[in-house]
Structure formats: structure tokens, C-alpha cells
Structure 1
Amino acid sequence: DGIIHCEVVEGSFCTETFTQFIDGLLKNMQPYPAPKSVIVMDNCKIHKHPNIQSMIEAR
């Protein structure tokens, strides 16, 4: 289905900007197992912040 959310920042992402990105992304996602229901992330440190996992699980 293509890109469902995009955000451009000057410089690099930090935990705060990534949290804002995930919040915007989740607004465009559906519950699993519907289409647009899976997030794939690598092992970047900001992806592992406990708040990120909590946000995703809360949706």
C-alpha cells in the first residue's frame, strides 16, 4: 500500500522526534492482522526505548 506516514527533520532523529513520528504513524495504522498493522524496525537505540514499545502496544 506504500508509505502511510512520513516525517522529515533537520539533523538526526532523537528519542523525542522518533516518539512524535511513531505517534503520527500509529494514527494511520490498523489493528493486527489488518493491512497497515505491522511496524518493522532495526536495532537502532531509539527504537528500543520503553516508551516506544508502550505506545505501540497501547494501540
Structure 2
Amino acid sequence: DGILHCDIVEGSFCTDTFMKFIEGLLNNMQPYPARNSVIVMDNCKIHKHPDIQNLIEAR
């Protein structure tokens, strides 16, 4: 029902910055299959980083 997490960054995201963003997002999410439990990402290279995938799957 709206934005779960927002962050503004000047310039481009590095992996560490994106990890911090995902951590903040996950803190506002619910376990599957509850509402606000699914993250949808496109084919961007940083989305496929093993650390990002592990962080999301660990929750």
C-alpha cells in the first residue's frame, strides 16, 4: 500500500550502498506469503550479486 523504503543517493550505487538499501527494505517487509513479502528486480548486474541474493534469501 505504498513505499516501504526510500533512499536518495547522489551518483551511482555501489554494492555496499545497495546492500544497505536492501537491508532497510527488508526491515519493512514481511515473510512470504504475507503482504509486502516479494521483491521484484530487473536484470541489472548489481541485482545478481551473490551478497545481495544471500542477504535477501537469509531473511
- Using the aligned pairs only, state the percent identity: 78
After TM superposition, where is structure 1 displaced by more than 4 Å over at least 4 residues in a row? none
SS of the aligned residue for 1:25 comes to helix
Query: Which residue identity is paired with 1:13?
Result: F
Relative to the length of structure 1, the TM-score reads 0.96
- Quote the Cα distance in structure 1 between the aligned partners of 2:44 and 2:54: 17
User: What is the CA RMSD across the aligned residues, in angstroms?
Assistant: 0.6
Relative to the length of structure 2, the TM-score reads 0.96
SS of the aligned residue for 1:47 comes to helix
Partner of 2:58: 58
Confirm whether residue 27 of structure 1 aligns to residue 14 of structure 2: no
Partner of 2:48: 48
- Quote the Cα distance in structure 2 between the aligned partners of 1:42 and 1:18: 14
Q: What displacement does 1:16 show?
A: 1.0
5+ residue gaps, structure 1: none
Partner of 1:3: 3
